[in-house]
Amino acid sequence: MSKRIVLSSDHAAIALRQTIAEHIAAKGWEVVDLGPTTPESTHYPERGAEAAERVASGDCALGIVLCGTGQGIMMAANKVKGIRCGVCHDTFSARMIRQHNDAQMLAMGARVIGEGLALDIVDAFLDAAFEGGRHGTRVDMIKALEA
């Protein structure tokens, strides 16, 4: 898998996104940070969709998106065909969406979790790998819903 990852957020999560970008770059990932960089209000649906398009096209292997709760930006990302994005506010869920759901994108809420937990969640997501097997059958069933 490529070590290229896209990050995006709305205005509520700029600082956390930048911290995550530094963290994963130090782990050897090539970070594509779509911003924003200024605190003016931005629309999370546009931010989530833009990042998801980068993953769906193959330009980036994985993506991390953030907004206030993580929910809205996750919903937008999941509207892009082929994307499986989950909101995680704990490390177990972050590991499981990779291992069992083959999720390529992680969403988090900057108003829900702190920096330390966010970095642990990112590590759990990045360190996990899809297990295949019975989970592959279920992921195929999810993909069939897009048709």
Q: Which of 60, 67, 85, 88 is catalytic?
A: 67
Instruction: State the alpha helices, DSSP H only, in 27-104.
Output: 44-56, 71-78, 91-99
100 is catalytic: yes
Name residues whose C-beta falls within 8 Å of residue 58's C-beta, 6 or more positions apart in sequence: none
Beta strands in the chain (DSSP E): 4-9, 30-33, 62-67, 85-87, 105-109
* Element containing residue 32 per DSSP (H, E): strand 30-33
Spatial distance between the Cα atoms of 21 and 31, rounded to a whole number of angstroms? 6
Spatial distance between the Cα atoms of 54 and 51, rounded to a whole number of angstroms? 5
If one counts every other C-beta atom within 10 angstroms of the C-beta of residue 108, the result is: 29
Reading the block at residue 128, the tokens are 């996990």
67 is catalytic: yes
Residues catalogued as catalytic: 67, 100
